Amino acid sequence: MQKQQLAKSFESIGEEYDRYRPGFPAAAAAEIIPELVDSVLDLGAGTGKFTELLIERADRVVAVEPSAAMLDVLRAKLPNVEAIVGGAESIALPDATLDAVTVAQAFHWFDRDPACAEMARVLVPGGTLGLLWNHSDPTCTWDRACHRVAHPAVAEEDATTESAAEELPGFAFDHHAEIAWSENIARSAYIARWLTVSSFLVADEETRAQMVAELEAILDADPQTAGQSQFELPMLTDVFVYTAS
Ligand SMILES: C[S@@+](CC[C@H](N)C(=O)[O-])C[C@H]1O[C@@H](n2cnc3c(N)ncnc32)[C@H](O)[C@@H]1O
């Protein structure tokens, strides 16, 4: 399966994505932008699940996202955010105009070198780049087992932080933070969330039904989830902060 096909799998699922995908802890936004700045761009912004945390941290918030369906949800939720359809490799914004660029759960989909060149171009000298990803907690046996159902063929989540190399062209690595948090989630919403993950989106109907049956079997068998309709899901958010050099 081509990476581009997987990246495009999000094109049509704006509302389900927004309803079921996890958000981010406010501490993740504070890690990247500790004090109020003039302007920030959220790149690969999707439906705005991370963008919404930036409103308190910048006077001007811009979102760039290739999927029109995702951006429609963002526009409805966050009318004060400037929303632009587009990709990271060609950002329709002028040079040296932004204090910070953030990329939540999306950097691994970008064509790395042209995207880095574009992010460096739109940032002011010394501006901040923050890359972040949510991860499952390795100590949570049932969530880990469900991840293995989703990711034997593709590695949407497991390969993610690998794309945050300490050396990104045009940037100096500043620091990494891992933020632990948890989410109370209904079993039905947990299953529905998996249906918004690229490997489920691109699977044919029969394979998808089989994958869902495997998730159900894991939840029925694990002592922490068996017979429960609501779970406490531990999450980790990895944040990588860089400075434009
Ligand atoms: C997993 S979603 C994350 C969305 C949002 N940042 C969030 O955390 O909820 C990945 C997003 O990256 C976008 N994307 C894929 N390829 C991209 C590219 N080349 N440039 C910008 N965004 C891209 C997808 O359309 C999708 O909205």
Residue 93 lies in a domain: yes
Residue 8 lies in a domain: yes
CA of 223 to the centre of ligand 1 (A): 35
Residue 225 lies in a domain: no
For residue range 178-202, list pLDDT tens digits in order: 999 999 999 999 999 999 888 898 8
What integer pLDDT is reported at residue 3 of this predicted model? 59
Q: Going by CA atoms, what residue is nearest to atom 18 of ligand 1? A: 87
What integer pLDDT is reported at residue 154 of this predicted model? 41
Residue 208 lies in a domain: no
What integer pLDDT is reported at residue 42 of this predicted model? 98
Average pLDDT (43-50) is 97
What integer pLDDT is reported at residue 166 of this predicted model? 73
Q: Going by CA atoms, what residue is nearest to atom 4 of ligand 1? A: 46
For residue range 194-237, list pLDDT tens digits in order: 998 888 988 999 999 999 999 999 999 999 999 999 999 999 99
Does ligand 1 come within 6 angstroms of the Cβ of 66? yes
Does ligand 1 come within 6 angstroms of the Cβ of 20? no
Q: Is there a contact between 144 and 136 (Cβ–Cβ < 8 Å)?
A: yes
Residue 150 lies in a domain: no
Does ligand 1 come within 6 angstroms of the Cβ of 70? yes
DSSP string, the chain: --HHHHHHTTTT-HHHHHHHS----HHHHHHH--S-EEEEEEET-TTSTTHHHHTTTEEEEEEEES-HHHHHHHHHH-TTSEEEE--TTS--S-TT-EEEEEEES-GGGS-HHHHHHHHHHHEEEEEEEEEEEEEE-TT-HHHHHHHHHHSSS--TTTTTGGG--S-BTTEEEEEEEEEEEEEEEEHHHHHHHHTTSHHHHSS-HHHHHHHHHHHHHHHHHSTTTTT-SEEEEEEEEEEEEEEE-
Does ligand 1 come within 6 angstroms of the Cβ of 109? yes
Q: pLDDT tier at 5 (50, 70, 90 boundaries)?
A: low
Q: Which residues, other chains included, contact 240 with Cβ-Cβ below 8 Å and sequence gap of 6+?
A: 130, 131, 132, 161, 164, 173, 176
CA of 156 to the centre of ligand 1 (A): 12
Residue 113 lies in a domain: yes
Q: pLDDT tier at 66 (50, 70, 90 boundaries)?
A: very high
Residue 115 lies in a domain: yes
Nearest to 200 by CA among 37, 3, 24, 10: 10
% of residues, the chain, pLDDT over 70: 90
CA of 67 to the centre of ligand 1 (A): 8
CA of 228 to the centre of ligand 1 (A): 32
Does ligand 1 come within 6 angstroms of the Cβ of 87? yes
* Model-wide pTM > 0.95: no
Residue 29 lies in a domain: yes
What integer pLDDT is reported at residue 156 of this predicted model? 43
Weakest-pLDDT range from 111-115, 175-179, 197-201: 197-201
For residue range 134-163, list pLDDT tens digits in order: 988 989 999 999 999 988 754 444 456 667
CA of 2 to the centre of ligand 1 (A): 16
**Number of compact structural domains in the chain:** 1
Q: Going by CA atoms, what residue is nearest to atom 15 of ligand 1? A: 7
Q: In the predicted model, is pLDDT for residue 6 greater than 90? A: no
Range of the domain at 107: 3-136+156-183+234-244
CATH number at residue 123: 3.40.50.150
Does ligand 1 come within 6 angstroms of the Cβ of 45? yes
